[in-house]
Amino acid sequence: MNFEQIHVVCVGNSTLDRVWLVDQLPVGGGKFRAHDYLELGGGMAANAAVAVARLGGAASYWGRNGNDTAGHTMREELSGYKVDVAQFRLVDGARSSVSAILVSNDGERSIVNFRGSDIPADASWLPVAEIAKVQAVHGDVRWVAGALAAYTAARELGVPTVLDGEIAEPEDYQVLLPLVDHAIFSEPGLRSFLGDAVNVGDELSPVLGLQRARDLGCRVAAVTRGAKGTVWLDDAGVHFQPAFPVEVVDTTGAGDVFHGAYACAIAAGCGVAQAMRMASAVAAMKCTRKGGRAGIPTLAEVESFLARLEP
């Protein structure tokens, strides 16, 4: 595999986590001291773009946030990971999506999320003609207008498309799935697409759910199930990629990174099974380090990880 010649556009969500490390989670009001503090970028499409860049591909992040300190911090961090941020718009008057996260010594968390405000949905400014020069488009469900614009152009230009199927309104899926080649859901995302329609008892029936997604037009429908691995459905039937056993430290962003790696592999012309295997290895390796981005391996590291597993 070689990702030096590929370019992936990732359209959608970018967030900023402000993390306070405290001895104990506060109970009630008062003043508390943190022994450490971190600012970490996250968000599905933004994390996927970092994965593409880390694996050696060219990555462009297309999205928007507020023209505030959080927006500038996110843009600078992405840029530091060599993600092209020319189409990361910071909008005057809008406020960025940020989370306050308190983490105690025993790993418990309190998370307060502000989804941002006055961030315009309009996507007409995206330079969609540039998609002619890239090898894959990845999108998420947090900016449906953006994903729709990019997928529409990609379809006309014959560029493959990948969707991160996280929790969204069922209507959003009706709009996006007909334009997507590879729809990769999380379990909660697949449930949000289906409602209760295909639960067997309390259990989600992944294959029935994935069939519903394919009925709307995507060629490959998959669901990532954390340590339980990934199930996908294509013309040939049902397939399974186990998760790789690793010493898990932090699973934050595993799904986002899986998508970035998968889009990279598809952009490079890999088959679906090979792309699933590579993405699973990248996501598992990410889980061995703290944070959503720090543990993302280079391509050489993934290849040696996979080679060690082979007889």
Q: Least Å distance between CB 186 and Mg ion?
A: 4
Picked from ligand ATP, Mg ion, none, the partner binding residue 246 (CB below 5 to 8 A depending on kind) is ligand ATP
Q: Least Å distance between CB 257 and ligand ATP?
A: 7
| Sole window of 15-23, 103-111, 203-211, 277-285 interacting with ligand ATP (rule: CB under 6 A) | 277-285
Please identify, using beta-carbon distances, which residue of 68 and 166 lies nearer to Mg ion.
166
Q: How far is CA 280 from the centre of its chain?
A: 13
Which parts of 131-170 interact with Mg ion (CB under 5 A)?
166
Q: How far is CA 175 from the centre of its chain?
A: 19
- Nearest-angstrom CA–CA distance, 64 and 62: 7
Candidate residues 20, 88, 193, 244; the one interacting with ligand ATP per rule CB under 6 A: 244
Candidate residues 256, 275, 291, 293; the one interacting with ligand ATP per rule CB under 6 A: 256
230 binds Mg ion (CB under 5 A): no
Helix (H) or strand (E) holding 41: strand 36-42
Q: What is the length of the chain?
A: 311
280 binds ligand ATP (CB under 6 A): yes
Candidate residues 283, 296, 299, 302; the one interacting with ligand ATP per rule CB under 6 A: 283
- Nearest-angstrom CA–CA distance, 278 and 66: 35
| Contact string (CB under 5 A) for Mg ion, positions 185-204, x = contact | -x------------------
Which parts of 155-194 interact with ligand ATP (CB under 6 A)?
186
Q: Least Å distance between CB 51 and Mg ion?
A: 12
Closest CA to 85 of 118, 132, 50: 50
Q: HSE, CB side, 13 Å, CA atoms: give it for residue 265.
A: 23
Please identify, using beta-carbon distances, which residue of 135 and 280 lies nearer to ligand ATP.
280
DSSP 3-state of 106: coil
Q: What CA–CA distances, in Å, run from 78 to 47, 107, 143, 156, 267?
A: 9, 27, 18, 29, 21
Picked from ligand ATP, Mg ion, none, the partner binding residue 17 (CB below 5 to 8 A depending on kind) is none
255 binds Mg ion (CB under 5 A): yes
Residues 93-114 as b or e (16 or more Cβ within 10 Å = b): ebbbbbbebbbeeeeeeeeeee
Instruction: Compute the C-alpha angle 110/81/127, nearest 5°.
Output: 100
Picked from ligand ATP, Mg ion, none, the partner binding residue 224 (CB below 5 to 8 A depending on kind) is ligand ATP
Picked from Mg ion, ligand ATP, none, the partner binding residue 77 (CB below 5 to 8 A depending on kind) is none
251 binds ligand ATP (CB under 6 A): yes
Candidate residues 70, 194, 204, 243; the one interacting with ligand ATP per rule CB under 6 A: 243
- Give start and end residues of each alpha helix (H) in the chain: 44-54, 69-80, 144-157, 170-176, 187-194, 206-215, 254-267, 272-286, 299-309
- Nearest-angstrom CA–CA distance, 253 and 262: 14
- Nearest-angstrom CA–CA distance, 61 and 43: 11
253 binds ligand ATP (CB under 6 A): yes
| Sole window of 97-105, 173-181, 198-206, 240-248 interacting with ligand ATP (rule: CB under 6 A) | 240-248
Torsion of CA 212, 217, 219, 223, to 10 degrees: -40
Please identify, using beta-carbon distances, which residue of 3 and 258 lies nearer to ligand ATP.
258
Residues near Mg ion (CB under 5 A) are: 166, 186, 255
Residues near ligand ATP (CB under 6 A) are: 186, 224-227, 229-230, 243-244, 246, 248, 251, 253-256, 258, 280, 283-284, 287
